[in-house]
Amino acid sequence: MPKEICGVRMPKGVVEPLFPDGDEVQQKAHSSESGPQYLCVVRVDGEKAFTVDSWQKHDRPEQDNVGDEGPERAAHDKVLEDVPFSGWGALSDNRVLMAAKCEKRRAGWLVLSLTLENKSIGSVQERRDAMVNFMKEFVPRQKKEGCDAA
């Protein structure tokens, strides 16, 4: 198990539930001018396990772009009320989207999403719990770098 995921040092117990069985973990990250400003793809034995991407936004992003119809309209989506930073989160069966307010920088918000590509890991609820636990650790750690880089 790698000590860093997408450039962020993470506790093993938070990361392990996102990984399918396998031997070799590969991570590839890059920045982009179009689409997400940062994209990290994590593979296990060549198969995509999950992706993490991020954007910087000036205005508060809306919570209506998780799943196909948004958390307030789609039965399978849920707004996360208890995020450990100033911001919000939303959850669907294979994706968590969180927006963290940058306190001192001109880019007012850092938006990060985790998309679980491998749906063979546990039950739907176990996958949802694993994604939320990961993002509650990852976002505050990434926020320091992402907001400071704005």
* 18/126 Cα distance (integer angstroms): 10
Q: What is the pLDDT of residue 114?
A: 93
CA distance 44 to 47: 5
Question: Is the model more confident about 145 or about 114?
Answer: 114
User: Which ranges of 3-123 does DSSP label H, i.e. alpha helix?
Assistant: 12-15
* CA 20 – CA 14 distance, rounded (Å): 14
What is the overall mean pLDDT for the chain? 81
Confidence at residue 72, expressed as pLDDT on a 0 to 100 scale: 38
For 8-61, write each residue's pLDDT tens digit: 999 999 999 999 989 999 999 888 766 668 889 999 999 999 999 888 877 777
**pLDDT per residue as tens digits for the range 98-121:** 888 887 756 688 888 999 987 778
